[in-house]
Amino acid sequence: MPKSIFVSNVLPREALALIPKEFSVDYNDSDRPLPKTELIRRLEGKDALICQIVSAIDDEVLAAAPGLKVVSNVAVGFNNIDVAAARKRGVVVTNTPDVLTETTADFAWALLMAAARRIVEADRFARSGQWTRWQWDLLWGHDVYGKTLGIVGFGRIGRAVARRAQGFGMRVLYHDTVRADGAAERELRATYAEPDVLFRESDFVSLHTLLIAETRHLVNERTLRLMKKTAILVNAARGPIVDESALVRALREGWIAGAGLDVFEEEPKIHPGLLPLENVVLAPHIASASLDTRLAMATLAVRNCLAVLEGKPPITPV
Ligand code: DGY
């Protein structure tokens, strides 16, 4: 029997071309999430699934394909997959780390800079025709150079964000469940801090943790109130790490100065309280969205899938 793969959303042609001709492929050439019933129906009898974060792969979905060997997620985050259920069923789960690290770190910095220097407001102002003369106190922002950056989650992306901070002469604090080794701390000039210290002392807090039970609403009313009134929060990780209602109040009432958000609690919905606020920069979950990076993610996901189907170890298992 030829191996059968279900590709549940659009992938670049170059990545699909890696799949051997003799494999049977059911391809949903769309970026819209499939309704669960259709996902289940099309997964029946398949050996492999290549999916994106828009598909929730829970135990019910996994049960539809008892022969499933691999779920290959085209993302580094894998909170859309019930990994424990997959493991119980002997299904390998893979993700796409490394290939998006630098692009995602660049984007976290883009949000940080945009929020600090009010780029989006400035753009709107410049286009609006309101700019009639040079003004002394126009759109004053917050300095970045020489300030303190707090990084929550010191994995690949958190470290890439820290590396960039060196160019800005920043003091870097980080928190993670596992402390980095001395060599990494020295190389990145980063100091380990307990979460409350990090929130209290940082001018910028950038989130780079996984979304797991322990990190859900890690940023909440209490931690937001610990932050400086001049501080800026950046989230390019996962929306539910931040209690969005608390953040709306923090931004509205001036507990913190601003935020740059690429992810939201209930994507694609954005908390309506965020929309009218000038002191938040909003992006539609695009931190890894560059041509090269998306191609590299898709290629790695296909290679992971093929490795498992060919009886080899996956390249990047979860
Ligand atoms: C990821 O890789 O987890 C991104 O959030 C989606 O591209």
Please state the atom number of ligand 1 nearest to the C-alpha of residue 285.
5
Q: pLDDT tens across 106-115, in order?
A: 999 999 999 9
Among this protein's residues, is 278 annotated catalytic? Answer: no
CB atoms within 10 A of CB 48: 28
Q: Take atom 7 of ligand 1 and give the residue whose Cα is closest.
A: 75
By most ligand atoms within 8 Å of CB, the mutation choice from 54, 208, 288 for ligand 1 is: 288
Reference 276, options 131, 149, 124; nearest CA is 124
Q: How many CA atoms within 13 Å lie on the side-chain side of 300?
A: 21
Ligand 1 atom 2 nearest Cα: 75
* pLDDT at residue 281, rounded to an integer: 98
Cα 100 to ligand 1 centroid, rounded to whole Å: 8
Centre of ligand 1 from the C-alpha of residue 211, in Å: 12
Ligand 1 centroid–CA 294 distance in Å is 10
Neighbours of 62 (CB within 10 A): 21
CA of 229 to the centre of ligand 1 (A): 30
> How far apart, in whole angstroms, are the C-alpha atoms of residue 162 and residue 188?
6
Q: Ligand 1 pocket: which residues have CB below 6 Å?
A: 53, 75-77, 100, 288
- How far apart, in whole angstroms, are the C-alpha atoms of residue 96 and residue 230? 35
pLDDT given for residue 1 in this prediction: 81
Q: Whose CA is nearest to atom 6 of ligand 1?
A: 75
Q: Establish whether 238 is a catalytic residue.
A: yes
Q: Give the separation between CA 246 and CA 221, rounded to whole angstroms.
A: 5
d(CA 305, CA 299): 10
Q: Name the token pair of 204.
A: 């910028």
DSSP assignment, residue 219?
Answer: B
In one-letter notation, the amino acid at residue 223 is T
Q: How far is the CA of 6 from the centre of ligand 1 (A)?
A: 20
Residue 50 CA to ligand 1 center (angstroms) comes to 14
Q: What is the pLDDT of residue 58?
A: 98
Residue ranges of the chain whose pLDDT lies below 70: none
Q: ω before 314 within 30° of 0 (cis)?
A: no
Is 217 in the active site? no
Residue of the CA atom closest to atom 4 of ligand 1: 75
Which atom of ligand 1 lies closest to the CA of 263? 5
Options 42, 118, 159, 238, the catalytic residue: 238
Nearest atom, ligand 1, residue 289 CA? 7
Residue 228: the pLDDT is 98
Give the residue whose CA is nearest to atom 3 of ligand 1.
77
Shortest-distance atom of ligand 1 to CA 96:
2
Q: How far apart are the first and last CA of the chain?
A: 28
Evaluate whether 205 touches 227 at the Cβ level (below 8 Å).
Answer: yes
Pairing of strands 190-192, 171-175: parallel
Strand 204-207's sheet: what is its strand order?
Answer: 190-192, 171-175, 148-152, 204-207, 232-235, 258-261, 280-282
Query: What are 48's strand-pairing partners?
Result: 5, 70
> 237: how many CB neighbours lie within 10 A of its CB?
28
Q: Closest ligand 1 atom, CA of 288?
A: 7
d(CA 229, CA 94) in angstroms, rounded, equals: 41
Cβ-Cβ contacts under 8 Å for 134 (sequence gap 6 or more): none
Measured CA to CA, the distance from residue 2 to residue 282 in angstroms comes to 45
Strands, E, within 193-257: which ranges?
204-207, 232-235
Q: What is the three-class DSSP state of 297?
A: helix
